[in-house]
């Protein structure tokens, strides 16, 4: 049977009809809002590279958390910018670190808001890398390696991947995750891409009585050109080299599935694909293969591309935003981490 008996447009005839037969529904419950916490006091400073995003000091984060809660957004993701950095990122597990202070302030004001913490050393190390650099790699800085501009891609500078000591980094990541749990975090999210980090974190949480703390693993995190605005915001660009020896090759979807499988076996409760838009196929493969909650990160470069086009008058900002977020949900993500979360929540509340 075909036209005219079948007319596909019948099911598109009105807004109510389209709503009734809609196959994918985006909800405020799907959203997580990332926040940048900078050491200090009395600080709410716009981030130049990211529209409508701010650096907050821990003492001012509670008001932002209250607004996020009022919008119905269930969770925030915290990134920290410390007072000082060193080669091991030792401020990452300080009891008085910006993230640890922010967790306590948020939980005091909005106890039901879920707090997710990024577990990675890149914001805390003087090298800007996600782990401890081996001695021979550190010496390369005296052999022509120059710090990169925070917005500059390492590849464009002709830099190479340094040697990150995977196993030495695991203990530090576990200490960082434990300090977040002790401060009151609900979910810790390792984003470093070291092998074995989920098991190391799960083991230390179990040994210290934090058996109910959830691990959301950045299981398939690709070495992407779309992180530029974030690296500026988090002051986490590599001082030399790139991250391709630990973050994933963008051409490898089968490897991504293997990474996800290994992290689930090590004790991850939820897994993530990052970035989202260039890797919708990976999200779909992961959804078809695994039954655990699946997150996707609508990263800073994706966010700012849309904003730049909207600012130039080329697209409708709100319509494009909702289309992008729906595409991520349609691909199979249960959870979407996005800087659009507040704006999307307001629009969803009007529907």
Q: 4: cis peptide before it, omega within 30°?
A: yes
CB of 68 closer than 8 Å to CB of 74: no
Dmax (CA) for the chain in angstroms is 75
Residues 108, 274, 342, 343: which is the catalytic one? 274
Active site residue 211: no
- Residue 192 in tokens: 């470093």
Phi, psi of 216 (to 5 degrees): -105, 105
To the query of whether residue 329 is one of the catalytic residues in this protein, the response is no
- Of 134, 221, 244, 329, catalytic: 221
Q: Tell me how far the alpha carbon of residue 276 is from its chain's centroid.
A: 10
Closest CA to 36 of 235, 272, 275, 325: 235
| Residue numbers annotated as active site | 221, 274
């Amino acid at each position: 049977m075909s036209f005219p008996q079948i007319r596909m447009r019948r099911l598109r005839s009105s807004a109510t009809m389209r709503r009734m037969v809609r196959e994918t529904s985006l909800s405020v419950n799907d959203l997580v809002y990332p926040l940048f916490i900078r050491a200090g006091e009395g600080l709410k400073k716009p981030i130049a590279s990211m529209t409508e995003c701010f650096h907050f000091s821990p003492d001012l984060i509670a008001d932002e958390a209250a607004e996020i809660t009022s919008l119905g957004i269930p969770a925030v993701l915290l990134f920290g910018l410390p007072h000082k950095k060193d080669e091991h990122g030792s401020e990452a597990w300080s009891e008085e670190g910006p993230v640890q202070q922010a967790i306590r302030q948020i939980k005091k004001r909005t106890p039901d808001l879920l707090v997710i913490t990024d577990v990675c050393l890149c914001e805390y190390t003087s090298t800007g890398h996600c782990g401890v650099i081996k001695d021979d790699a550190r010496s390369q800085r005296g052999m022509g390696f120059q710090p990169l501009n925070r917005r500059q891609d390492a590849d464009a500078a002709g830099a190479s991947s340094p040697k990150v000591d995977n196993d030495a980094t695991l203990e530090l990541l576990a200490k960082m995750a434990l300090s977040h749990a002790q401060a009151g975090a609900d979910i810790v999210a390792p984003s470093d891409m070291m092998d074995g980090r989920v098991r190391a974190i799960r083991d230390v949480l179990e040994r210290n009585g934090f058996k109910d703390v959830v691990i959301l693993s950045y299981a398939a995190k690709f070495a992407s050109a779309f992180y530029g605005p974030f690296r500026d915001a988090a002051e986490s660009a590599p001082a030399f080299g790139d991250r391709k020896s630990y973050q994933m090759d963008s051409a490898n979807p089968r490897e991504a599935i293997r990474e996800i499988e290994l992290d689930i076996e090590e004790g991850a409760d939820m897994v993530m694909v990052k970035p989202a838009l260039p890797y919708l196929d990976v999200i779909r493969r992961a959804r078809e293969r695994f039954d655990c909650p699946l997150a996707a990160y609508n990263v800073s470069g994706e966010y700012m591309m849309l904003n730049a086009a909207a600012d130039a008058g080329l697209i409708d900002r709100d319509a494009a935003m909702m289309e992008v977020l729906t595409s991520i949900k349609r691909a199979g993500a249960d959870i979407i981490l996005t800087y659009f979360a507040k704006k999307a929540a307001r629009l969803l509340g009007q529907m």
